[in-house]
Amino acid sequence: MKEISCKLLVLGAGPGGYVAAIRAGQLGVNTVIVEKAKAGGTCLNVGCIPSKALIHAADEYHRLRAAASGKSPLGLSLSAPAIDLRRTIAWKDGIVGRLNGGVTGLLKKAGVKAVIGEGRFVDGKTVDVETETGLQRIRAEAIVIATGSAPVELPDLPFGGSVISSTQALALTDVPQTLAVIGGGYIGLELGTALAKLGSKVTVLEALDRILPQYDADLSKPVMKRLGELGVEVFTRTAAKRLSADRRGLLAEENGRAFEVPAEKVLVTVGRRPVTDGWGLEEIDLDRSGRFIRIDDQCRTSMRGVYAIGDVTGEPMLAHRAMAQGEMVAEIVAGHKRSWDKRCIPAVCFTDPEIVGAGLSPEEARAAGIDVKIGQFPFQANGRAMTTLSEDGFVRVIARADNHLVLGIQAVGHGVSELSATFALAIEMGARLEDIAGTIHAHPTQSEAFQEAAFKTLGHALHI
């Protein structure tokens, strides 16, 4: 058995893991990273990046179809468009490949040693990795667990055949005629919307009383409206049961009423689970918080020298959260003083229209007993939104009533994901309504709606 020693061992080369390894390498820490597949993890290979590529392709195709219908308000017209999904997927795979190679190159540039294989804890300082050339034992002063998450499977609808996860949905080479989506959260609606634009007849089944339950109803209403325009049928308070006898449909139940949904493919998106099996974690017996590994404000676990970051530590399961944690842990291992003290972690839903949220929602602020002021500005009154046929949605600002400290910012609309950094920066820097209102926003841009929402909260909106 080959043995190597290092100061830091990172298990998993997803967004959190590879950032931790790169930053540690930059700081001169002798670092090894173990990954059983490709660098980049779920986000880069089968999640964030490929899904956004597919969403963009679907948007472009949908615009062409609208022009071909002769109903374009811009006066555009063309003959019937077509899509070769195999070429689309090849383009998507090319982007993933370029980014994957980029991560590999950055790890090498930082002096990080990469070991490909499946790792398993021997004890809190030792991991054995099964590689193609045999067993590799790695001894480390500190270990970071960054093993990520995986799609949750339903007992009566296990993955296989016509039942697919988001991973398989992103590898389809033909557009299914009919698609049933189980779960009306952000993953199901992002992919369901994209496939509806590509030509699928999509049906969404959600067990709760509305879609996107992680966002408040005001934010989800424009998305629900758009789903209707795209011909997507949504059933709430509905339970998916099993495939029909001929396996061409999905049996479901809504308030005691049984019915069947046509489904060439069934996309299951009911959540994700931490990947804690197969790594020998029972050998070190870390404290848990439910299904997740419990950590403190420095991402330390219950065992000295063992850290955990990203999805394996719980919600929110977001790549940028994992990246921030990875950077912090690398600096702690290098001897810097750091702790996790985030005022907000922005979250984006890439539906049509997009949703972005940072900080507290109105309900969360009130539940905390805070007296708040709320201002909202519609994109219907924003010139840039009008000129891009993107008038649905709004920007909303929540601030303390007493001192005007901004507590939360949300938006729903076309392209609002690009405002997420602006929203997060305002909250992180402790902005007050007057700071946002006093900042000159370029005209004509959608960002002006942010300033106008602050004006509205202060009681003197200018353009409504």
Q: What are the residues whose beta carbons fall under 8 Å from the beta carbon of 234, sequence distance 6 or more?
A: 184, 203, 204, 206, 211, 224, 227, 228
Name the residue with tokens 């020298």. Answer: 305
Taking Cα atoms as reference points, which of 124, 49, 80 lies closest to residue 306? 124
Q: What are the residues whose beta carbons fall under 8 Å from the beta carbon of 418, sequence distance 6 or more?
A: none
d(Cα 21, Cα 98) in Å, to the nearest integer? 20
The fraction of the chain above a pLDDT of 90, given in percent, is 95
d(Cα 419, Cα 154) in Å, to the nearest integer? 36
User: Residue 2 is encoded by which pair of tokens?
Assistant: 């080959």
Taking Cα atoms as reference points, which of 204, 193, 39 lies closest to residue 116? 39
Question: Strands, DSSP E only, in 12-49?
Answer: 31-35
**pLDDT tens track for 56-70:** 999 999 999 999 998
Q: What is the largest distance, in Å, between two alpha-carbon atoms of the chain?
A: 72
* pLDDT score for 1: 79
d(Cα 23, Cα 110) in Å, to the nearest integer? 8
pLDDT(292) > 90: yes
Total length of the chain: 464
pTM given for the model: 0.95
* pLDDT score for 381: 98
d(Cα 162, Cα 276) in Å, to the nearest integer? 27
**pLDDT tens track for 378-426:** 999 999 999 999 999 999 999 999 999 999 999 999 999 999 999 999 9
Q: Are 20 and 327 in contact (CB under 8 A)?
A: yes
In terms of CATH, what superfamily is 2-46+89-150+273-334?
Answer: FAD/NAD(P)-binding domain (3.50.50.60)
**pLDDT tens track for 75-133:** 999 898 999 999 999 999 999 999 999 999 999 999 999 999 999 999 999 999 999 99
Fold classification of 163-270 (topology level): FAD/NAD(P)-binding domain (3.50.50)
Taking Cα atoms as reference points, which of 372, 429, 370, 369 lies closest to residue 396? 372
d(Cα 137, Cα 13) in Å, to the nearest integer? 18
Catalytic residues: 443
* pLDDT score for 423: 98
Residue 300 carries which DSSP code? B
Mean pLDDT over 369-373 rounds to 97
Residue-wise burial string across 33-50, b where 16 or more C-beta atoms lie within 10 A, e elsewhere: bbbbebbbbbbbbbbbbb
d(Cα 440, Cα 452) in Å, to the nearest integer? 11
Fold classification of 346-458 (topology level): Enolase-like; domain 1 (3.30.390)
CA angle at 320 for the pair 370 and 454, rounded to the nearest 5°: 40
The fraction of the chain above a pLDDT of 70, given in percent, is 100
**DSSP letter string, 217-254:** HHHHHHHHHHHHHTT-EEE-SEEEEEE-TTSSEEEEEE
> CA–CA distance from 144 to each of 38, 216, 322, 329, 341 (Å)?
18, 35, 12, 8, 19
Mean pLDDT over 426-441 rounds to 98
* pLDDT score for 342: 86
Number of H helices, E strands in the chain: 13, 24
pLDDT(452) > 90: yes
* pLDDT score for 341: 83
* pLDDT score for 179: 98
Three-state DSSP class for residue 186: helix
**pLDDT tens track for 148-189:** 999 999 999 999 999 999 999 999 999 999 999 999 999 999
For strand 354-359 and strand 406-413, is the pairing parallel, antiparallel, or unpaired? antiparallel
**pLDDT tens track for 269-283:** 999 999 999 899 889
**pLDDT tens track for 221-268:** 999 999 999 999 999 999 999 999 999 999 999 988 999 999 999 999
Report the mean per-residue pLDDT for the chain: 96
Question: Strands, DSSP E only, in 319-380?
Answer: 347-349, 354-359, 372-378
Q: Are 276 and 121 in contact (CB under 8 A)?
A: no
pLDDT(71) > 90: no
Q: What are phi and psi of 93, to 5 degrees?
A: -65, -35
Segments of the chain assigned to CATH 3.50.50.60: 2-46+89-150+273-334, 163-270
